Structure formats: structure tokens, C-alpha cells
Amino acid sequence: MLNKLNKALNPKEWDLVIVDQDETHYYQPGFLFLPFGIYQKEDVEKPKINFFPKNARFIVSGIEQIVPDENKVLLENGEALEYTFLIIATGTEIRPDEIEGLNGDLWHKKIFDFYTIEGALALANFFQTWEGGKLVLNIAEMPIKCPVAPLEFLFLADDYFKKRNMRDKVDITLVTPLDAAFTKPIAAHELGNFMQEKGINIVTDFSIGRVENEENKIISWDEQEVEFDLLVSVPTNMGIEAIARSNMGDELNFIPTNKHTLQSDGWENVFVIGDATNLSSSKAGSVAHFQADILFDNLLSAIDGKPLEASFDGHANCFIESGDGKGLLIDFNYETEPLPGKFPIPGVGPFSLLKESRMNHLGKMGFRWFYWNMLIKGKNLPMDPHMTMTGKYVPETEHA
Ligand SMILES: Cc1cc2nc3c(=O)[nH]c(=O)nc-3n(C[C@H](O)[C@H](O)[C@H](O)COP(=O)(O)OP(=O)(O)OC[C@H]3O[C@@H](n4cnc5c(N)ncnc54)[C@H](O)[C@@H]3O)c2cc1C
């Protein structure tokens, strides 16, 4: 947004200010590959300053509180910033402290996350010497960012242990609060089949209540128990605490946002993008990217006092690593669930939707270059932010 706005706004009239607590930008999709040694730390991090326009002011500080009724942001460094328009893009963070016992004695010893750089690197280290046992991946509750990442983790784990000739020593189980492998029925069916083919077990409708560190067990609210030797946890995902302190969020600190215009429900000059919203679209980088095109148009309209006519349709797409050098691609929006077909050119692809292919894997691995060099630089891409049905078809027998 900063790069886009820098090109569009007159620097004599506008001051662009960006605040972030962290000087390093992380390519979070790359965290998936760290535990398996496919990426190293240096592949997924770069200084944020490399990507900011020279005209903008970059303040490295945490946000203490937003006071939207006074158009102010109070920073941890003591500064108070006044704004004409505010874009909130504070994302989501994992909160292991929300589950009793999750970040207890076993945290980063036998229990790991891979949604943070620290967690993913600690798990990579653990895998070096692990001799096998029960690997349980638990999703604490929905929504989580990148809802396919846990499945990708399991597919890559299957592949990793096969290549190390120890797959027979590792029992892999997904323990999920959902009633299937994924939220959307057609994709859930396909992904469930993959899990079965790879010998990955699934425990559904499991709502975690606590972790017994001494007994190596996770226990649900209705007292179901699952034992683990290694627990890979996707803890509760929440918006940041500063949103709660500002009284701007829901019970998970996500900000009520208009699903089409991306204007906050509470304040006309506050807009929200990415994982920080309360929207039902996926919490994914692709979503933040498509939203940026919409938000850019609407913000310029708001500046000109015009109606907000650009409309976000919930568009998301995501490559899914399925292991063994293959992957899938899904493309969907608020109304249309992921469907099979070809993308972006009907009948040709080169990517296949909801079907494993080597090309999809190459797309996933090539994406990192595209991310660092095109996406976060805010370059204009010949890609419609809206989803299209072109190349997709509705399978006849599913849902039966
Ligand atoms: C393992 C994993 C795999 C993923 N795979 C994919 C994928 O394949 N495809 C895909 O599309 N998406 C994927 N994602 C999701 C994607 O990374 C996020 O959806 C995306 O980064 C969201 O962007 P955002 O700008 O909303 O939030 P973020 O990128 O999380 O940025 C939030 C920013 O806010 C800053 N911040 C937070 N709190 C404060 C504070 N108090 N004060 C100041 N600054 C603060 C942070 O430092 C950060 O820079 C994956 C995520 C993970 C964890």
C-alpha cells in the first residue's frame, strides 16, 4: 500500500508514515519449508527498509494504542502520530498462552509451532536427531492464517521421513476442530484423499482444552485424549493486543471491516487490510494482495470525497505443496469454493486447480522470487483482483 500510494499521492500534500515493531520482513510462506531444511533462515528474511519508498517515514516501534475518535496512534516509543487516513495491517499472531499447558515445560522441546521463525527453526533442529514416534499436528481453533499450511506441513513431513528411510517409524495424525481436513467441502474431499493415500490419520471435531505435559497428551473439552511424542501446534490465532487496548476488535482482536470496501465498520477514515480484518476470506498473503488493489482505489475515492465503489469479492488463491515435488492450486472467493480446472488460461493452465502437478510445485517454489521482487514492491501486475470462473468447472458427483 505504501509503494502504491507513494506513486499516486503528491508528496507536497501528503506525508506517508509506516510504523512497524520489526525491522525485518519475513516471507511467512517460507516458514513451512524451514523445519524440513528446504529453506534456511536467510531465504525468508530481508530488511523492511529495502522495500519502502524514500519519501515515506519509517518508524520502528510497537503500537501502544490507536485512538480512532481523535485520529491518533500512540507508539511504544512515546510518540503520538496524528493521521488523516489510517490503514491497519497488523496481521495475526499465535497465542499458545490461550490453551492451558501448551507453552509449558514441553514448549520448543516436544511441542513446536511453525508459524513463527523461532518455532520453525527450533523444529528444524529437533528433526535433525528425532528417531520417530507419534507426530501429532493439532489446530487449536479456527480461523488460522493460511488454513492449508497445516496440511502442507503433513504432506511434507510424510515426504521428509520417507526420504530419510524412517516413514515406518513415524505415525502422523492431524487433530482438527473441523469435521474434515479443510473448511471447503470439495477441496476437503480431495485433500482428505491425499491424506489417506499417504497414510496420515485424522481425528476430527477435536476442540483442544488442555495439554498434559507430563503425560504427553492433548485433551479436548469433552475429554477425548490424543498421545504424542512430538506435537506440532497451530495455536489460537488472534489479532494483536494493541487492537484490544484500542477497543477496536472483536473477541479475537480482529477488526470489524466492510467485506467489500475494506473500510472499518467503526470509522470512515480507518481502513483494514490482510489478516487483521474480521472477514471470512482466508487469512492469506494472496488475499492481502488482492485487497490492496481494491483498497488503493477506495482510499483514493475517500480522499476525493467520492463513494467507495471498488469491491473485494473474497478472492484467495494458494499453492498447496503435496510432497514429492508436486503441488495443487486452489482459487476461490466468498461465494465460490475451490473448484477443479486450469489456471490462469482455460484448458491450458499451466497450473491445474485442485489437482496434483509438478508445475504447481514449481509455481510454489518460484513464488518466493515473485514475492520479493514484485508483490511487496507494489508493482502493477496484469492480474485481476477478482476471481473468475474461467477455466473452472463444478464436478458432478461431489456433495452427493
Ligand atoms: C507457515 C505459513 C505459511 C503460509 N503460507 C501462505 C501461502 O502459501 N500463501 C499465502 O497467500 N499466504 C500464506 N501465509 C499467510 C501470509 O503470510 C499472511 O496471510 C500474510 O503475511 C498477511 O499479511 P498481513 O500484512 O496482514 O500481516 P503480516 O504479514 O503478519 O504483517 C503484520 C505486521 O504488523 C507488525 N506488527 C504486529 N504487531 C505490531 C505492533 N504491536 N506494533 C507495530 N507493528 C506490529 C508485524 O511486525 C508485521 O510486520 C502463510 C503463513 C504462515 C505462517
Measured at the CA of 122, the angle between CA 224 and CA 252, to 5 degrees, comes to 55
The alpha carbon of 291 and the centre of ligand 1 are apart by a number of angstroms equal to 14
The alpha carbon of 21 and the centre of ligand 1 are apart by a number of angstroms equal to 13
- Rg over alpha carbons for the chain, rounded to the nearest Å, is 22
Backbone angles phi, psi at 53, to 5 degrees: -65, 150
Query: Taking the domain 2-21+61-92+239-303, which CATH number applies?
Result: 3.50.50.60
pTM: 0.96
Q: Which three cell numbers stand for residue 290?
A: 488482492
Assign 3-state DSSP to the chain and report helix, strand, coil percentages, each to 5.
Answer: 30, 25, 45
Kindly tell me the burial class for residue 83, based on how many C-beta atoms sit within 10 Å of its own C-beta (0-12, 13-18, 19 or more): middle
What is the predicted pLDDT for the residue at 400? 40
User: Can 2-21+61-92+239-303 and 96-236 be said to share one CATH topology?
Assistant: yes
The alpha carbon of 262 and the centre of ligand 1 are apart by a number of angstroms equal to 17
What is the predicted pLDDT for the residue at 397? 59
Q: Are 328 and 277 in contact (CB under 8 A)?
A: no
Contacts of 137 (CB under 8 A, 6+ apart): 150, 153, 154, 172, 173, 174, 175, 231, 232, 233, 234
Query: Taking the domain 96-236, which CATH number applies?
Result: 3.50.50.60
Counting atoms of ligand 1 from 1, which one is nearest the CA of 317? Answer: 11
Positions of the chain with pLDDT under 50: 398-400
Domain ranges for the chain, please list them. 2-21+61-92+239-303, 96-236, 316-377
Which helix (H) or strand (E) segment holds residue 349: the answer is: strand 349-353
Q: What is the DSSP letter of 30?
A: G
Nearest CA among 319, 371, 276 for reference residue 26: 371
Q: Strands of 33-132 (E only): list them.
A: 45-47, 57-60, 63-67, 72-75, 80-82, 86-88, 93-94, 111-112
Ligand 1 neighbours by CB, cut-off 6 Å = 19-22, 28-29, 31-32, 62-63, 89-91, 114-115, 145-146, 149, 240, 242, 274-276, 283-286, 288, 318
